[in-house]
Amino acid sequence: MSKPIFIRKASQLITLKGSSNAPLTGEKMGELHIIENGSVWIENGKIMAVGTDEELAQQYKDRMDETDIIDASGKTVTPGFIDPHTHLVYAGSRENEFNMRLNGATYMEIMNAGGGIHATTRATREADEETLFNESKHRLDQFLKHGVTTIEAKSGYGLSLEHELKQLQVAKKLNEAHPIDIVSTFMGAHAVPSEYKERPDDFVRLVVEEMIPKVSELKLAEFNDVFCERGVFTPGQARIILEAGKENGLIPKIHADEIEPYKGAELAAEIGAISADHLLRASDEGIEMMAAKGVIAVLLPGTAFFLMAEAANGRKIIDRGVPVALSTDCNPGSSPTVSLPFIMNLGCLHMGMTPAEVVTAVTINAAHAINRGKEIGSIEIGKQADISIFNVPNYMQLVYHYGMNHTDTVIKNGKVVVSGGQLL
């Protein structure tokens, strides 16, 4: 049994207490429940006590010499960050397309010409499991160094039963081998593969009749996602795929209204999706419907930044009562980054969110977006001890000093996995 860990004297301990049952909305998104000179006692992978340093020093005065003490004075302590939308497992890279876009080509033009998702699908199909594992593990290490302790990871670069299963198996192995927890999403409907170009409904049938039942039987995913976009999957096809997932126990998620308004937000609400992601072009009605149903908006301002598009209107989406989470969208085409802190900065500068709201959006609301609100996302007694410590005296500096990595220490499941900014 490892020693207890006692984090002491944080200049700000961001607890987000009281948020485990439902994601935070409206003004509550800005209430971080901060303890100054805060301390946390961790034992057996769990958070055992949270309070001021005076309170905890008194409570544990007889056990001080059996602990590992982490001095967090001058630092900010948060729940481990959570990234609820990544395309982690893939091979290759697409810097050639970046160059094409800088010269005026659009994301969709490149995809329709056989590049984009199709290019990564070719590279991922060709890669063996070991290559995929190693390339993805490198990204996971970088996530961890940025204070991220849990991520969601989608398949969707296989686009055949064999290769979708390969991607999901790699995610499962990474989850077992790496400190970061990975929550898997099946996304066989990420694109219509070129061999089905002339008969997309046959591909939808393959997803519904073969892939979803197999993924569910093998318990390789918890969620089911679709790229609902003009030229990819229609709202009608997306509905069929998401309903089939539900029948097989997979919770719906949707890539909605990224490039054009396409009634993706409306569909998310109608179908009872846990989240609708992107929403750059979501209609007001769709946003109202999401608010009424409590669908979480997972916003991805790094994608808008990288595609040189106008970001989603995060301010409006929060003000209409939709709970908002933030994510990197880590993928080789539209957001090749693992820096969730940079995404937080964009949340403030490009989407009108406050620094407090973006902290909520990468902790407890992100936890709820992957159905983990009861286990992670806040610093409360009984929760998993996933905690990040940043080299800044207050949470505002996390987003103010942008494009820098402030991570000092990361504790995952009660174990120190990053110290002094370095992986252990």
Query: Which of Zn ion, ligand IZC, none does 117 bind, CB closer than 5 to 8 A by kind?
Result: ligand IZC
Least CB distance to ligand IZC at residue 101 (A): 11
Q: Which is nearer to Zn ion, 258 or 386 (CB)?
A: 258
C-beta of 12 vs 327, nearer to ligand IZC: 327
Q: Which is nearer to Zn ion, 43 or 329 (CB)?
A: 329
Count of residues that interact with Zn ion, criterion CB under 5 A: 1
- Which x/- pattern, by CB under 6 A, does the window 180-219 give for ligand IZC? ----------------------------------------
Instruction: Please check whether residue 71 is in contact with residue 297, taking contact to mean a CB–CB distance below 8 angstroms.
Output: no
**From the list Zn ion, ligand IZC, none, which binds 152 (C-beta under 5 to 8 Å, kind-based)?**
none
Closest approach, Cβ 224 to ligand IZC, in A, equals 15
Token pair recorded at residue 2: 């490892």
HEC states along the chain? CCCCEEEEEECEEECCCCCCCCCCCHHHHHCCCEECCEEEEEECCEEEEEEEHHHHHHHCHHHHHHCEEEECCCCEEEECEEECCCCCCCCCCCHHHHHHHHCCCCHHHHHHCCCCHHHHHHHHHHCCHHHHHHHHHHHHHHHHHCCEEEEEEECCCCCCHHHHHHHHHHHHHHHHHCCCEEEEEEEEECCCCHHHCCCHHHHHHHHHHHHHHHHHHCCCCCEEEEEECCCCECHHHHHHHHHHHHHCCCEEEEEECCCCCCCHHHHHHHHCCCEEEECCCCCHHHHHHHHHHCCEEEECHHHHHHCCCCCCCHHHHHHCCCCEEECCCCECCCECCCCHHHHHHHHHHHHCCCHHHHHHHCCHHHHHHCCCCCCCCCCCCCCECCEEEECCCCHHHHHHCCCCCCEEEEEECCEEEEECCEEC
Q: Which is nearer to ligand IZC, 87 or 281 (CB)?
A: 87
Residues 6+ apart with CB under 8 A from 309: 259, 280, 303
- Minimum CB distance to ligand IZC, residue 157 (Å): 7
Structural contact between residues 268 and 242, judged by C-beta atoms closer than 8 angstroms: no
Residue number, 229 or 329, with CB nearest to Zn ion = 329
CB of 154 to Zn ion, least distance (A): 7
Looking only at residues 304 through 333 of this chain, which bind Zn ion when binding is defined by CB under 5 A?
329
Closest approach, Cβ 333 to ligand IZC, in A, equals 3
Contact window for ligand IZC (CB under 6 A) among 39-47, 114-122, 207-215, 287-295: 114-122
Q: Which of residues 315-344 bind ligand IZC (CB under 6 A)?
A: 331-334
Q: How far is the CB of 404 from ligand IZC (least distance, A)?
A: 26
Cβ atoms of 366 and 83 within 8 Å: the answer is: yes
The number of residues that bind ligand IZC (CB under 6 A) is 10
- Where does residue 274 fall: left (phi above 0), alpha (psi -120 to 50 degrees), or beta otherwise? alpha
Query: Which 39-98 residues touch ligand IZC, going by CB under 6 A?
Result: 87
Contacted by 4, from Zn ion, ligand IZC, none: CB < 5 to 8 Å by type: none
Partner that binds at residue 333, options Zn ion, ligand IZC, none, CB closer than 5 to 8 Å by kind: ligand IZC
CB of 217 to Zn ion, least distance (A): 25
Name the residue whose CB lies closest to ligand IZC.
Answer: 333
Residue 45 contacts residue 385 (beta carbons within 8 Å): yes
117 belongs to the binding site for ligand IZC (CB under 6 A): yes
Given candidates 20, 120, 365, 384, which one binds ligand IZC under the rule CB under 6 A?
120
Least gap, CB of 94 to ligand IZC (angstroms): 7
The reply on whether position 252 binds ligand IZC by CB under 6 A is: no
- What minimum distance in Å lies between the beta carbon of 156 and Zn ion? 8
Task: Out of 116, 286, 341, 414, point to the residue binding ligand IZC (CB under 6 A).
Answer: 116
Binding string, 328-357, against Zn ion, x = CB under 5 A?
A: -x----------------------------
Cα angle: 305, vertex 307, 311; to 5 degrees: 45
Could you list the residues that contact Zn ion (CB under 5 A)?
A: 329
Could you list the residues that contact ligand IZC (CB under 6 A)?
A: 87, 116-117, 120, 227, 255, 331-334
